[in-house]
Structure 1
């Protein structure tokens, strides 16, 4: 009997030890599993809590005081309220915007470094300034558009865009069209008319839109393709007339003027401004910035700033702007080499 009890006791002790060993192993595995789970949760939590009180840097790739800078600063002010954190705007100019955008592309993709993105971001690689393109970013929203306006003197012999094109076809290269610089969006605007309408202009580059407008006023050239706001004073004074708007919609500055699309021409050339982050930024963070940007861009202060400048409030969400930028990148990558300016 004692032998049986001894054997039973031994067996029980063995089972107990085995159970302790298994429990220890399970505890260890559970601990490791919990650690991995916690690690994943921590990462997700950091994304969900973004920006978690940390400062965001918004890089504007142009000089302070310009239109892009002004719009970016109003946006930043509204974004601060949406995200409850500080947003600091820095101007990093040079190489037609390439230097500032390069800084954002090379930043940690954590959502704390953003870029003001101009239409030129779809053109820089084709112009040879950098290998950077909009493919290196994810947009969180577009704020505005600035359409090109085909403008001539009030005493010019053309009263319609069709008249203007007919004359240009009959007199190749005779019409001198001023722009804000070789390779600028306004140069591209006139070149796009040539491509789509089968006409030939002589392109006259100036150091900005203002000198081009002055040259038209002085009868040194026959037309300009610049923004409506840049010719509005001369239109109001009776010196100029706008024949056509090349934007996706009519301009609030000259709402009576039809777009090229309305006239049956497949031409949409416009400046725009949006906001983006490096392409590898986690989607959860992009979503937070996109939601906050929608609120900021659609705020009364941003809308009023755009209206005061003569720009069109034209909000697009991130995905739609990614698609539009990709489309324009492909177009300019083909057109610019054809122009021989790269």
Structure 2
């Protein structure tokens, strides 16, 4: 079959993700094994994207490559049979970022990057920066939210804040890891409300949510999409979202912090990137595939169902937005106390 990036094959790389099927649908055609070492690996450094499913539209040539999903942090989704799963969790994405940044820049390893790529260097928790990657596309954006168990004593965000002020440092708030965006969001919430929490780091949002469900922490500061299924089932309650406007669906009754006179909007963007020095022609193939994926109706529908905010940007505006965040978050982080 030759290189995935050969002149004959580039046109076949049409989509990077189509989240309408599940992981076991990936590239199971009889020709998949012919690709040999030419596996395209997608390294997912966040623990999960909530309820978003992994999927692909594997065709006879097996060049449609899955990207997103509720899969372990650092998972590689390869266009061969069987799928290869390698976990690289920890350090709020730093381990996974380093794995991709140090990979051979040939286009066969693609990273799902997030705002942590900006936060971790600013906190001196990672030597890598966004300069070590070439952006391909931004995929989505989700705000932070304060979520508690449905049987918790706090029915409103005001009650939650009032109790926290009475018991400084006593209330435990789970996050996705030291320096993770959800840690920063909780710290920013403290700063704006005059509260103090006991921040409990986990290796991603999913274990933080499981700990909340088990009664081991009092709240989590992760995205609405990551708690949506539990809010729907009546096990959890989202007290407020850190977005400009209210969300729809099961979060329609959850106010924004701004509605409650708390001036705070913060969240996570997620996108695709490859190691710097990846050949321009290879980068162009991936850019076009990402653009095609983002315009697909099934992909858009999956984002809506998972309550994940669609916020696609092509490579150039995505890079510009990363640079803006580098500057704006420096100011925010300088005011916050992040316990390392």
TM-score, normalized by length of structure 2? 0.65
Residue 165 (structure 1) aligned to one of 161, 183, 191? 161
1:60 aligns with 2:43: yes
Distance (Å, rounded) in 1 between the aligned partners of 2:63 and 2:316? 22
Map of 2:173 onto structure 1: 177
CA contact (8 A) 1:180 1:208 kept: yes
1:245 aligns with 2:241: yes
Which secondary structure does the structure 1 equivalent of 2:299 belong to?
helix
Map of 2:298 onto structure 1: 301
**Cα–Cα, structure 1 residues 340 and 129, in superposed 2: closer, same or farther, change >3 Å?**
closer
Task: Report the structure, 1 or 2, having the larger helix content.
Answer: 1
**Cα–Cα, structure 1 residues 92 and 154, in superposed 2: closer, same or farther, change >3 Å?**
closer
Map of 2:264 onto structure 1: 267
**Cα–Cα, structure 1 residues 119 and 165, in superposed 2: closer, same or farther, change >3 Å?**
same
**Cα–Cα, structure 1 residues 74 and 199, in superposed 2: closer, same or farther, change >3 Å?**
farther
Map of 1:143 onto structure 2: 139
Please report how far the alpha carbon of residue 295 of structure 1 lies from its aligned counterpart in structure 2 after TM superposition: 1.5
Which secondary structure does the structure 2 equivalent of 1:182 belong to?
coil
Map of 2:25 onto structure 1: none
CA contact (8 A) 1:149 1:225 kept: yes
1:133 aligns with 2:129: yes
Map of 2:309 onto structure 1: 312
Task: Map 1:186-201; keep pairs closer than 5 Å.
Answer: 186-201=182-197
1:93 aligns with 2:88: yes
Map of 2:148 onto structure 1: 152
Please report how far the alpha carbon of residue 245 of structure 1 lies from its aligned counterpart in structure 2 after TM superposition: 1.2
CA contact (8 A) 2:137 2:272 kept: yes
**Cα–Cα, structure 1 residues 177 and 140, in superposed 2: closer, same or farther, change >3 Å?**
same
Please report how far the alpha carbon of residue 203 of structure 1 lies from its aligned counterpart in structure 2 after TM superposition: 1.8
TM-score, normalized by length of structure 1? 0.65
Map of 1:278 onto structure 2: 275
Distance (Å, rounded) in 1 between the aligned partners of 2:151 and 2:79? 49
Please report how far the alpha carbon of residue 93 of structure 1 lies from its aligned counterpart in structure 2 after TM superposition: 2.3
Higher radius of gyration, 1 or 2: 1
CA contact (8 A) 1:250 1:259 kept: yes
Please report how far the alpha carbon of residue 280 of structure 1 lies from its aligned counterpart in structure 2 after TM superposition: 4.4
CA contact (8 A) 1:251 1:312 kept: no
Distance (Å, rounded) in 2 between the aligned partners of 1:194 and 1:208? 21
Q: CA RMSD in A?
A: 4.3
Please report how far the alpha carbon of residue 298 of structure 1 lies from its aligned counterpart in structure 2 after TM superposition: 2.5
Which secondary structure does the structure 1 equivalent of 2:264 belong to?
coil
Residue-by-residue CA offset, 1:145-196 (whole Å, 9 max, x unaligned): 3432212344545443244334434543343323344333322221111123
Distance (Å, rounded) in 1 between the aligned partners of 2:202 and 2:159? 26
Which secondary structure does the structure 2 equivalent of 1:243 belong to?
strand
Residue-by-residue CA offset, 1:208-250 (whole Å, 9 max, x unaligned): 5455445545555432222324434443444432111124654
Please report how far the alpha carbon of residue 322 of structure 1 lies from its aligned counterpart in structure 2 after TM superposition: 1.7
Which secondary structure does the structure 1 equivalent of 2:40 belong to?
strand
Map of 1:40 onto structure 2: none
More displaced, 191-200 or 86-95?
Answer: 86-95
CA contact (8 A) 2:145 2:239 kept: yes
User: Where does structure 2 lack aligned partners over 5 or more consecutive residues?
Assistant: 14-37, 66-77
CA contact (8 A) 1:140 1:318 kept: yes
Residue 111 (structure 2) aligned to one of 85, 110, 115? 115
Map of 2:255 onto structure 1: 258
Which secondary structure does the structure 2 equivalent of 1:339 belong to?
coil
More displaced, 127-136 or 213-222?
Answer: 213-222
**Cα–Cα, structure 1 residues 71 and 62, in superposed 2: closer, same or farther, change >3 Å?**
farther
CA contact (8 A) 1:296 1:302 kept: yes
Distance (Å, rounded) in 1 between the aligned partners of 2:251 and 2:45? 29
Aligned residues: 292
